[in-house]
Amino acid sequence: MKRLRTTFKTVAILLFLVQLQTSFAEKNEQLVKAIFLEKFTQFIDWPSESTIEDSSSPFILGVIGKNPFGTNLEDIYSSQKIKNRKVEIRYLSNIEEIEACHLLFIGKAKKDIISQIISYTRDKSILTVSDSKGNAKRGVCINFYQDGEKIRFEINQTAVQISGFKMSYKLLKLARIVKPVKSEL
Amino acid sequence: MNPFNSFSIKNKLIAIILTVTFLTTGIGFALVVINEINHMKEDLIEKSNLTAKMMGEYCVAPIVFNDVDGIQEILKKINSLPNVITASVYDVNGALMTSYRKNDDLKIHEMLKQNVKATFKGDYLHFHRSIDNNGENIGTIGLFVSTTQMEKEIYSSIQTMLLLLACLITLSYFLATSFQKIISKPINSLRMVTKSISSSVDYSIRATKTTNDEIGGLYDDFNDLIEQIQFQQEAKDKAEEKLREHSVNLENEVQKRTIDLSKQMEEVEQLNQAMLNLMEDQRITNETLSTTSHQLRETNKELEAFAYSVSHDLRAPLRAIDGFAEMLFEDYGEKLDAEGQHQIDVIQQSARSMGALIDGLLKFSRLGRKGLHYSRIEMFDLVKDVLEQIKLTSSGIKIDLRMTDLLPANGDRTLIKEVLANLLSNAVKYSKQDDSIPITIGSRTEKTENVYFVKDNGVGFDMKYVDKLFKVFQRLHKPADYEGTGIGLALVQRIIYRHGGRVWAEGIVNEGATFYFTLPKEKDA
């Protein structure tokens, strides 16, 4: 319990600091992105056949490529649950390790590696997030981008659909849609 | 008084129908309007709820990602909703995140308290709805919705209702005007019948029933009543007719009686007048009479004085004639023959007779002057005394006296004795000279006087001449047959009159006479 309280305090202080130092965008930006990861999951339903249904198992958050968050993820998700489950953060180095992940943040990497990863996760119910320009087009589900001082994101609707996710229109409304799914109607 | 009571039935019915229609329809319409207002409010709330829900949904992601600009973009969508004036979004703690106003004059309203979802305030509906994401509250959206449109609709609805109400009232007025006749017409016609009965006083009129309801019953009752009245009226008329006849008869009778009475009055008046005249006459007569009586009294007195002096003066020469005739007979009787002696005897007898006459006249005339000396008289004794004297003067007479107890009298003893002497001597004188003379003397008492009578069986008299009996020198018989002066009964009458009594006689020729006299009872001396 003491540890938990200490963690809360730490988070609170951190958030406080983040808010104070908005001009110091760089650090702040990474924190916001880390927080956004969980927010995305609020609007997305994993396919029923995925392992996400087992509530006793943890939500596995994988990071591949260069980790931009520092310790932000641990700071946040040691207490914050995702999809009502404990979060297990995994820093991956092999593509094979990706399979267990529910959410995969793709850090800065070479384009061919990214393509590799994308093609690997393409038909799997793994939500891919990145913050590199053009990644959405390449096939990453959600991709951060900078709009002035604001952090925004773009969504590859087709990729999301192929992965079998059901994404809320609410999220879609907020995002810049890349490769939209043409309505059949 | 309630002015409603002065309405005619027609107007009452119309008023009632209109009032009922107005009230029911009005209440109904009011309820409809209230219901509609409630519906509109609910509708507005529902619409606001939908708007809030929709906008809230859109706001979920911006809220989650703390994207105020995103929220603002969404709130701007109220521009397409004319009624929504402002929209605001609050965070979980109720702090305002952002808001959008169509009109800058409007203040941003504070978030409503918990569990208050909607409230109408002024021209606006304040509406709040929580924004949830996956069952978790992440904020609140608040709307400021103008109710002007709704009010307009309500007013227009009320106007429609009022117009409809006016139409219905007008319609029901016309319907009431035509339907009220069902009730008012029979009542009015009954009233007309009543009026015509009361104005014509013809109770044979009947109301014709047209309905079988209470009014029809009223008609029947009315007809029954009129029939009873008619019956009574006829009876009354008959009675009045009789009464009138009676009164006419009575009037005639009274008139007749009055005429009779006035006639009688006239007669009485005449009688009165006659009586007055009579009284006047009587007065005059009385006056004359009293004068005459006075003169008479004077004459009487003179006459009495004359008679007395004459009688007195006549006695002296008579005595001289008698005395000298006596002396002549004594001195020269022997010288005279029988014829001469007889003539002297005649002279003497005539002189004595004349003396007796003069005595009687003296007594009679004295009676007028002498006062009466009253005393109690035992008539029985007095009669005996008188009879003794008569027997003395007339020798050889037998008297058969039948006398009951005589009532005592009150009077002048000397005068009453004179009366008895006259009556008794008359009775003896006029009786047949048989062996005894029957004389009856009696008395009886009456109210104020005692009646005495002397009855004989003598020659009697004819009642034709009864008036002459008691007058001076009046004689019913020849002086040759019966001697007497002709003064006796006149004297008797005079004495009795002076005592205040009466004298009368009854007689039958050759059978006898009865002389009555009365004396007042207890006359004070």
Are B57 and A39 inside 8 Å of each other by CB?
A: no
Q: Domains of chain A: which residue ranges?
A: 2-178
CA distances from A110 to A61, A64, A121, A135, A145 (A): 21, 12, 17, 11, 18
The secondary structure of B66-84 as a DSSP string is T-HHHHHHHHGGGGG-TTE
- A4, containing H or E segment: helix A2-20
Q: Which residues of B384-397 are buried (b: 16+ CB within 10 A; e: fewer)?
A: eebbeebeeeeeee
**Among the three residues B120, B139, B174, which one is the final residue of a domain in this structure?**
B174
Determine the distance in angstroms separating the CA of B134 from the nearest CA of chain A, rounded to an integer.
Answer: 7
The verdict on residue B448 lying in a domain is yes
The verdict on residue B156 lying in a domain is yes
Q: Is the pLDDT of residue B369 over 90?
A: no
User: pLDDT digits over B213-258, tens only?
Assistant: 888 888 888 888 888 888 888 899 899 999 999 889 988 888 888 8
A86-90, A101-105, B242-246, B365-369: segment of lowest average pLDDT: B365-369
Which residue would you say has higher pLDDT here, A62 or A182? A62
Are B134 and A42 inside 8 Å of each other by CB?
A: yes
Class of the A2-178 domain? alpha beta
**Helices assigned H by DSSP within B333-395:** 338-367, 379-393
* DSSP-derived 3-state class of residue B362: helix
Torsion over CA: B252, B257, B263, B266 (sign): negative
The overall average pLDDT reported for chain B is 84
List CB contacts (< 8 A) between B133 and chain A: 42
CA distance A140 to A156: 7
Q: Give mean pLDDT, residues B35-48.
A: 88
- Beta strand pairing call for A142-147 and A127-130: parallel
Are B61 and A150 inside 8 Å of each other by CB?
A: no
Contact B375, B523 (CB under 8 A): no
List CB contacts (< 8 A) between B58 and chain A: 170, 173
A42 touches chain B (CB under 8 A): yes
Q: For chain B, which residues lie within 8 Å of any Cβ of chain A, measuring from their own Cβ?
A: 57-58, 60-62, 64-65, 67, 69-70, 133-134
Question: How much of chain B, in percent, has pLDDT values that exceed 90?
Answer: 4
Check residue B524 and give its pLDDT.
47
List CB contacts (< 8 A) between A174 and chain B: 61-62, 65, 67, 70
Are A39 and B69 inside 8 Å of each other by CB?
A: no
Contact B129, B140 (CB under 8 A): yes
Chain B nearest-CA residue for A168 = B61
**Among the three residues B153, B174, B195, which one is the final residue of a domain in this structure?**
B174
Q: Give mean pLDDT, residues B74-78.
A: 87
User: pLDDT digits over B149-177, tens only?
Assistant: 888 888 998 898 899 989 988 998 898 88
Distance of CA B98 to the CA centre of its chain: 115
Report the candidate in A30, A35, A82, A43 with the shortest Cα–Cα distance to residue A60.
A82
**Among the three residues B124, B157, B174, which one is the final residue of a domain in this structure?**
B174
Looking at the structure of chain B, the number of domains it has is: 2
User: Which among B60, B65, B134 has CB closest to A36?
Assistant: B65
List CB contacts (< 8 A) between B60 and chain A: 170
The verdict on residue B508 lying in a domain is yes
The verdict on residue B196 lying in a domain is no
Contact B229, B194 (CB under 8 A): no
User: Which among A42, A150, A174 has CB closest to B133?
Assistant: A42
Q: Which residues of A116-128 are buried (b: 16+ CB within 10 A; e: fewer)?
A: ebbebbeebbbbb
Are B70 and A174 inside 8 Å of each other by CB?
A: yes
Instruction: State pTM to two decimals.
Output: 0.48
Q: Looking at residue B153, which CATH number applies to its domain?
A: 3.30.450.20
List CB contacts (< 8 A) between A173 and chain B: 58, 61
A174 touches chain B (CB under 8 A): yes
Q: Give mean pLDDT, residues B455-470.
A: 83
The alpha carbon torsion through B371, B372, B373, B377 (nearest 10 deg) reads 160
The verdict on residue B394 lying in a domain is yes
A173 touches chain B (CB under 8 A): yes
Q: Looking at residue B431, which CATH number applies to its domain?
A: 3.30.565.10
Give the structural domain span for B380. Answer: 371-520
Are B65 and A43 inside 8 Å of each other by CB?
A: no
Q: Give the angle subtended at the CA of B490 by the CAs of B523 and B471, to the nearest 5°.
A: 130
Q: Give mean pLDDT, residues A85-113.
A: 89
Q: Is the pLDDT of residue B43 over 70?
A: yes
